[in-house]
Chains A and B, each alone.
Chain A
Amino acid sequence: MKDLLEVTESGLYCAAGDFHIDPWRRVPRAVITHAHADHARPGCDRYLCSAAGKLVLRTRLGPGATIDCLRRGESLSSNGVRVSLVPAGHVLGSVQVRLEHGGVVWVVTGDYKTAADPTCDPFEPVVADVLVTESTFGLPIYRWPDATDVAAEINAWWRANQDAGRASIIFAYALGKAQRLAALVDPAIGPIVAHGAVAKLVRAYRDSGVRLPPIDGVPPGARSVGHGRALVIAPPSAAGSRWLRLFGTSATAAASGWMMLRGVRRRRGFDRGFILSDHADFPGLVAAVEASRARRVLVTHGSAEAFSRFLRERGLDAAVLPTRFVGEAPPDGNDDPDGTDPDGTDEKADGVTPATAPVAPAADGDAGMGAPP
C-alpha cells in the first residue's frame, strides 16, 4: 500500500487528501503544526492550524492569510482522509497532525516536548500505526533538568545581577521560549522587559488567553531602561546589538537545550547558559515513541540517523524519513548553534534547522520564498 505521506519538492505531502504539512513552498493547502518561521511560511492559499494557535499564526503570516482552524476533538475530512490536531506541547498552539485513511493512522509530531509548559497545552500521546517524529535532541546526552529548577537558577542569577547593579539579559526565541521564560521566572524580583520582536508575540499570547506576568516594552526614544534591575528577554539576533546598550552594565545568558553541552556554552560567549528547551529530550522522545505504540517510525530531523538506529535495535521498523534535506546545523556549526534562520526573523524554535528548511534554497530557484510578505 502506498504511504499516506511522501516528501515532495514542496514538503511533506498527503496525496490522498491533497494537502501539505508545514510546506516550504507555496501550496494550495497547508496544515501547520506550529507558527515558527520554518514550519509556517507565507504564501499558501489556505492554512489549517489549531484554534489555540490561530492568533499566533496570524501574527506571523499577516492579515491577508486565509487561516482555518480545528478545535481539540474536532476533525475534518479531505478526500476521505480524516485530519485532527492534537497538542504537541512545543509552543502555544503547536500540534501533532493525526491522519486516518483506510483504517491506517499516521501521526506527524511536528516539534514537541513532553515537559510541562505553563504557556501551552501539554503534549498528548496519540496511538498511531506510523509515527513521524522529530529528533532534534535524539541522543542520550540530552536529558533536561526540571524546568522549575532551571527557573530557580534563573531567579538566583537575576537577583545576583541586581545586587551587582547589572541588568540580566537572556536570549531566547521570540515565539514560545520567551513567553515560557516570562511565565517561569519570579516577577516579584523586578521588571521584565521584552524586545520588540518578543513583545509582539506576548500580545498574541495574551489575546489567546495565556496568563503572563506584566512585561514592559521599551518606549521609542528611551535612553536607558530598568536601572540594572530588569530581566530583559531578547531574541538571539539582538546579541551584540546597540539596542542592548539601553540597559547599561549587564550580564548575558542563553536559554536553550544546547546549553546542556559545556562546549556550546563556552563557544556562545554568554555569561551563563540555562538548559531550557521546547523540544523533547532523549527520554521524552523514547517515551513518545513508546506511547504511540507505532510499529513504524520515521525520524525527520536532528540526530535522525542515530535515533532511528536506536529504535531499530529495539525492534521497531524505524528509518530516517528519506528527504533531500539535511535539516540540521550541528551545535558547533556556525555562529548560531540553533541553525540558520531562514527568514531573518529569529523567531524559530530552539531546535536545529528543521526538515522543512531546504539545504540550498537558492538552488531550487525559490530563494525568495522564505521572505515575509
Chain B
Amino acid sequence: MRRFAELYWRLDGTTAITDKVESLRGYFAAATPDDAACALAVLSGGRQSRAVPLPVLRRHAAAAAGIPDWLLEECYAQAGDLAETLALVLPPPDRLPEPPGPDRAGIGPDLGLAAHVQRLEALRGEKDDEVIGRFLLDTWRVLAPRERIVWHKLLTGGCRVGVSRSLVARALAELAGVEPATMIARLVALAPLDGAAFSRLLDGNATGPDGLRPYPFFLAAALDEPVERLGAPAEWLAEWKWDGIRAQLVQRDGATALWTRGEDLATEAFPEIAAAAAGLPPGTVLDGELLAVRGECLLGFAALQRRSGRRRVTRPLLAEVPCVFVAYDLVEARGVDLRGLPLVERRARLTDLLGTVGALPASFRPAGSVSEAKPSDATASDTPAAGATLWLSPEVPGAAWEDLAARRAEARDRGVEGLILKRRQSPYGSGRTRGDWWKWKIEPLEIDAVLLYAQAGHGRRATLHTDYTLGVWHEGRLVTVAKAYSGLSDAEIVEVDRIVRATTRERKGPVRIVEPSLVFQIAFEGVAPSARHKAKLALRFPRIVRWRRDKAPPDAGRLADLARLCTAATLPGPAP
C-alpha cells in the first residue's frame, strides 16, 4: 500500500509525461505481481465499488479523531475532498484508540495493495457496525496520512488517477522491452487480471495478442510550398484527404484488430469492420481511414466520434451511424511485410485484394447535401456490394497540377479535407517523414463575427472570460453561429475580459450577454445544420484568427453567406 500510495502522489504531483511513465515503470518493476495486477486494474479505471457507506465511514472517522460530526463536516467543506478530509483529521497511527478485540493478525504497515483490496472486498455488505469500526481502526492504525487518502479512495470506490491507458502501456512496454502497441495488444487480451496474468504481460516470450500489433503509421506532412515544386505530376498519386479516423486493420490467424493512429485498439467500437476483416486472407494489414457512411452520404466526423468513443456499441447506434474502412495501403500480405515495396506495387496488390471484397461507391456526398451526385471521375467506379464495409480509396486522376488543383477545390462539396499526394515510388515509411507523402488541404473558410456572449474559462483562465459565443447578421439582428475558445494572445484575452465586464448587458448564470462591439475573424472547416444555435447551423472547428479592431459590428458577416455552404440547413424565419 505504501508503494502504491507513493505512486499515486507522484502521478498526482506532475504533469510531465516522462515523469509519469518513469514513476509507473518504477512501481511496476518493484511491485509483486499481485499488487501490480491490482494497481493496473485501478489505473485502467476499472469499476470500483464502495465497501462502506459514506455516513458510516464519516461517523467512525469522527469518533476515531475525537471530534464531533459537525466539525468533520466543516473540515470537509473546507478541504472539498472526503478521502483527504478523513485522512487529515485522523490522528497519527500511534495515537489512535486501540480497537476492541484481540485479533488483528495479518494487518501491518507492509500489507500490499492486493491484500488491502481483498480485505475491502471481504468487508463489502457487512452490516455489523462494530465489525466495520474495528476494520477501519485496524487499517488506520497501519497507514500514514498520505496512504490513508489513497486507501479512502479505494474504500469509497473513487480512486481515479490521471494517467491514460497508453501511458500505462508505455511504462509496461519499457519494462518488457517491447513496442507500446505490443503492450496494448497484450493488455487488451488480459483477462482475468491477476498476478499470473501480470507476469505473462512482461514476459518477452508471450505470444497470442502480440500477433495483432500494427505497424508504425506513416504520416503525411502538410504541404507548405507551391505544389509545382513537387516535380512532375505523373510521379505522384493523388487521393482524397478523408475526414475520418486513420486506422490499421490487422487480420492474422483468423483474429482481427483495428488500431487507430493513437495506437488505441478500436476493434470493439467498429464490430462491422472487424467482421468484414474476417474475410481477408490471414496475414493482412490494411492502412486506411474509418468513415461514417450511409448509402452515398458521408455522415461527418461528429457522427464518427459517436462510434469511436465507445467500448460497446448498441444496435441502434450501429444502424444509425454505419461505418466503413476505406483502405489506401497494403502494409502486409500473406504475413509478409510489404513496407519496402514502392507504393504503386502495394496499391496494385491492394486493388487485387479488395476487388474480391468491395470497392468505393462512385462518389460520396457530404451529409445533408441536396445537390445531385457528381458523375464519377474516380478510377474505382464499381458499385459496391450492399453493406460492404471494406473499400478502396480511389485515385484522383489529374494529368497536370491545375487539374488536381481543380479537384482539390471540390473537396468541400465532397466532404473531404483536400488531397493527399503520395510519391508513386515511395516505401511505407514511419512517422511524419517529409518528402514522400503530403497533405494538400483546402484553406479554411473565414467570416467576421460579433461577440455576443462570454463565459469564464477553466483552470488557469478561471477568472477570465475566454469562452466566446459569436454571431452574424440575419434580417437585421445578430444570431449566434459558433462558440470559440479564444485564439487570442494572453494580453488580448485580458483586454477582452475587461471589455466584456464593462459592456455586460445581462447575466445568465455564468454567461454574460454583452453589448455587441467586438468583431473577430473566425476560421472554420465547414457548416453543418445545428439545433444549438439560433441560426440553425453551426460552424465546424471554429477558432478565432484575429481580433478585427478595424471593424465594427455592422461590418460583420451575414448568415446567408454561411447558409450557402450548408444547403440543407433551414434558416430561421422566412425561407431564404
Do A and B actually bind?
Answer: yes
Q: Chain A interface (Cβ within 8 Å of chain B)?
A: 139-143, 260-263, 269, 272, 303, 306, 309-310, 313, 330-332, 334-335
CB distance from B350 to the nearest CB of A (A): 49
Name the one of B75, B81, B463 contacting A262, with C-beta atoms under 8 angstroms: B81
Q: Once the chains bind, are A269 and B68 in contact (CB under 8 Å)? A: no
> Considering the complex of A and B, which 6 residue pairs feature the smallest CB-CB distances, nearest first?
A141-B88, A306-B74, A141-B75, A140-B89, A139-B75, A263-B80
**For B74, what are the chain A residues with a Cβ–Cβ distance below 8 Å?**
139, 303, 306
Between-chain CB contacts (< 8 Å), 27 pairs: A140-B71, A141-B75, A141-B79, A141-B85, A141-B88, A142-B88, A260-B88, A261-B79, A261-B80, A261-B84, A262-B81, A262-B84, A262-B149, A263-B80, A263-B81, A303-B74, A303-B78, A306-B71, A309-B70, A310-B67, A310-B68, A310-B71, A313-B68, A330-B78, A331-B78, A334-B463, A335-B463
With A272-B13, A335-B463 as contacts: A263 and B79 at CB distance below 8 Å? yes
- The yes or no answer to B563 lying at the interface (CB within 8 A) is no
Q: Which of B12, B65, B75, B460 has the most CB of A within 10 A?
A: B75
Taking CB atoms and an 8 Å cut-off, the chain B residues in 82-97 that contact chain A are 84-85, 88-89
CB distance from B95 to the nearest CB of A (A): 11
**For A334, what are the chain B residues with a Cβ–Cβ distance below 8 Å?**
463
B-side binding surface: helix, strand, loop or mixed? Answer: helix
CB distance from A245 to the nearest CB of B (A): 16
> A330 to B74, alpha carbons, bound, how many Å?
13
Beyond A263-B80, A272-B13, A309-B71, 12 additional pairs, beta carbon < 8 A: A139-B75, A139-B78, A141-B79, A141-B88, A141-B89, A142-B88, A262-B12, A262-B149, A309-B70, A310-B67, A310-B68, A332-B80
**For B12, what are the chain A residues with a Cβ–Cβ distance below 8 Å?**
262
Q: Chain B interface (Cβ within 8 Å of chain A)?
A: 12-13, 65, 67-68, 70-71, 74-75, 78-81, 84-85, 88-89, 149, 460, 463
> A263 to B79, alpha carbons, bound, how many Å?
7
> A363 to B13, alpha carbons, bound, how many Å?
43
**For A332, what are the chain B residues with a Cβ–Cβ distance below 8 Å?**
80
**For B463, what are the chain A residues with a Cβ–Cβ distance below 8 Å?**
334-335
B84 nearest CB neighbor, chain A only:
A262
**For B68, what are the chain A residues with a Cβ–Cβ distance below 8 Å?**
310, 313
> A303 to B67, alpha carbons, bound, how many Å?
15
**For B67, what are the chain A residues with a Cβ–Cβ distance below 8 Å?**
140, 310
> A310 to B70, alpha carbons, bound, how many Å?
10
A140 nearest CB neighbor, chain B only:
B89
A145 nearest CB neighbor, chain B only:
B145
B62 nearest CB neighbor, chain A only:
A140
**For A141, what are the chain B residues with a Cβ–Cβ distance below 8 Å?**
75, 78-79, 85, 88-89
Q: Which of A140, A272, A306 has the most CB of B within 10 A?
A: A140
Q: Once the chains bind, are B80 and A269 in contact (CB under 8 Å)? A: no
> A139 to B84, alpha carbons, bound, how many Å?
14
**For B78, what are the chain A residues with a Cβ–Cβ distance below 8 Å?**
139, 141, 261, 303, 330-331
> A303 to B77, alpha carbons, bound, how many Å?
12
**For B149, what are the chain A residues with a Cβ–Cβ distance below 8 Å?**
262
CB distance from A299 to the nearest CB of B (A): 14
**For A263, what are the chain B residues with a Cβ–Cβ distance below 8 Å?**
79-81
> A139 to B71, alpha carbons, bound, how many Å?
8
B146 nearest CB neighbor, chain A only:
A262
> A260 to B65, alpha carbons, bound, how many Å?
18
**For B79, what are the chain A residues with a Cβ–Cβ distance below 8 Å?**
141, 261, 263
> A330 to B79, alpha carbons, bound, how many Å?
10
**For A306, what are the chain B residues with a Cβ–Cβ distance below 8 Å?**
71, 74
CB distance from A188 to the nearest CB of B (A): 26
> A262 to B83, alpha carbons, bound, how many Å?
11
Q: Once the chains bind, are B460 and A140 in contact (CB under 8 Å)? A: no
CB distance from B560 to the nearest CB of A (A): 45
> A334 to B464, alpha carbons, bound, how many Å?
12
A306 nearest CB neighbor, chain B only:
B74
> A330 to B77, alpha carbons, bound, how many Å?
11
> A313 to B78, alpha carbons, bound, how many Å?
21
> A142 to B81, alpha carbons, bound, how many Å?
14
CB distance from A28 to the nearest CB of B (A): 39
> A274 to B75, alpha carbons, bound, how many Å?
20
> A11 to B78, alpha carbons, bound, how many Å?
28
> A261 to B81, alpha carbons, bound, how many Å?
9
Q: Once the chains bind, are A143 and B460 in contact (CB under 8 Å)? A: no
